[in-house]
A = this chain, B = another copy of it.
Amino acid sequence: MIEPFDDTYFMKKALQEAEVAYEKGEIPVGAIVVVENRIIARGHNLTEQLVDVTAHAEMQAITSASNFLGGKYLQNCTMYVTLEPCQMCAGALYWSQISKIVYGARDKERGFINMNTKLHPKTEVVGGVLAGEASEILKRFFIQRRNLN
């Protein structure tokens, strides 16, 4: 049997969120939260529009998922995020006790791996899903922004 709902399928949905951020002039990062193959929350980076450094895609998606679930813990949830989470977002995911994080591109400088941020011991991590696509949209954004200046 073919399983249509795999990590690639859901990462494409997160990439769609990154495209929405791109269109708004935001650093294009997108995130979704999935429970039993159902998307319960979507988020994209809104730091410029909201004038708020805390408005990363993951933070929006965590808040939105908790709102949907009516509970602040995201056990049995998977987050798909196009870029490896930063210290802040990994710290938020730690508190959420999320079951699984699937990220696209590595952030070798400011990502949680290099920064040594601790996730919850119950959280599984998968990296590199559609990493090329996730990097490409970020590169496209920074090239465009450089050309505008």
- Give A contacts to B, CB under 8 Å: 47-48, 51-54, 59, 62-63, 66-67, 70-73, 86-92, 94-96, 115-118
Q: Chain B CB within 10 Å — which of A87, A89, A90 has the most? A: A87
Q: How many copies of this kind of chain does the complex include? A: 2
CB-defined contacts of A95 to chain B, threshold 8 Å:
53-54, 86, 88
CB-defined contacts of A66 to chain B, threshold 8 Å:
51-53
**How many angstroms between the C-alpha atoms of A115 and B89 in the bound complex?**
14
Given the contacts A87-B87, A87-B118, A92 and B62 also touching, CB distance less than 8 Å: no
Query: Would B91 and A70 count as touching, CB distance under 8 A?
Result: no
Q: What distance in Å separates the Cβ of A93 from its nearest Cβ neighbour in chain B?
A: 9
10 CB contacts below 8 A, A to B, read A51-B66, A52-B63, A53-B73, A54-B54, A54-B59, A87-B91, A87-B117, A91-B115, A115-B118, A117-B117
**How many angstroms between the C-alpha atoms of A94 and B59 in the bound complex?**
15
